[in-house]
Structure 1
Amino acid sequence: NTWIDGRLAEVYCTTIAAIERVVADGATWRDGAEEGIVHVWLREGRIVHDRSGQLAAASERAGNHSHPTPADEREIHEAWRKIGYNVAQIKRYLAADDPMSLSAVDMRLLYSVAEVNLHYFTVRQLLWRGEKPAIRYWLEHDPEYLDCFHHFSAETNRRHRVELYEELATRALAPVGRLWREGQTMIGVGAGYGSGELAAREGTVGDALAFWKRLVTDPS
């Protein structure tokens, strides 16, 4: 990061080999992956200097590919699970009504609302392109959501802020269902905790729920 003509700028360095790899496998990149982001830049960005012409060639090839792959079923489920957890945890802290728990509410709201805004797009299998494109999308397609966000941002009463946060979460997750119900068991599918692996090798949410039910009902 640096400043150019008084403006904050981000400078990314890469190699032609990396660009070629991104273009060669363009249809396979996930939205949000570094390769997927570079692929979108090649498709939609403006080239202002290209001494060898290789960027222009890569951009033309990238334009023939589809957009990065949107969120799959597991990613959508995980977005729903994480938002539901944060709503439940924030409401639990709010009910505790002691100074430390109430401060924790304020801290959690800082990142939880940002997560809701991001996953609004995840559950709709839309690509996240940053805050300003998100605002433009809401202005055109969901002004009620944006109004709710503005009310949340302006609210100073902690309890009302939590209520507005829950409304944002409910609106964001509308395509996939309601928030958690109290007493409901949630499953996050992934690699074994502490295994060092990034993702589960196999299995579904249904498999995990069935395993959990066996654990809590089998007397042996």
Structure 2
Amino acid sequence: MSSAIKTENLKKVYYLEGAEIHALKGINLEIKDGEMVALMGPSGSGKSTLLHLLGGIDIPTEGKVFIKDKDIFHLPEKLLSRFRNENIGFVFQFHYLLPEFTALENVMLPAEIYKKKDAKEKAKEILVRLGLGHRLGHRPSQMSGGEQQRVAIARAIINNPDILLADEPTGNLDSENSKIVMNILKEMNEKYKVTMVIATHDMEVAEYCSRIIKLKDGKLIEA
């Protein structure tokens, strides 16, 4: 089985008021195609930082990230942006839906960036599949937290990414909606073979995954 994600000596240092904060301290990690991996650790352990680096939305201080054998930080910025949009989907704890847009318009946006002609039809199809056919014309303020998170998932997968990165995707949801969201993600992994890395502090969420990776103080303590 080939690697979907691989890191080499990945480090990230932040500078805050003259102090160095070593968020990641040399992470060597390999995630195979089709794996569904939970990334666990206490607050401040480096989970979100690692996800942001794996997704190419932050730049490492040192080290490399390979996505499908491509060293992503050797790509020019414009090519990296396109590569990220076409290959990686993101789901966050806070949905980051555009409040003035409907559910349908929020989901269409990543496809419209590259002028894909079928954006509207595809967005509608995904929302219906996620049980949101009755919410197409609703804005985020008219939807529940669980519905908003499903819209965020739909937006993340409209470009058929090979990899989905989720940062505490159930963090703001009650137990019922958490199960709905995780069952959706599990089905995507099993049915469509989407590789997933899910940062979570919730063991019930981690149990949906095939492997658990643990971080502590910026270091990998189990993989």
* TM-score bin, normalised by smaller chain: under 0.3
Q: Which has the higher helix share?
A: 1
Higher RCO (CA < 8 A, seq sep 6+): 2
TM-score scaled by structure 1?
0.27
Instruction: Please report the TM-score for the alignment, with normalisation by the length of structure 2.
Output: 0.27
Pair member with larger Rg: 1
More strand as a share of residues: 2
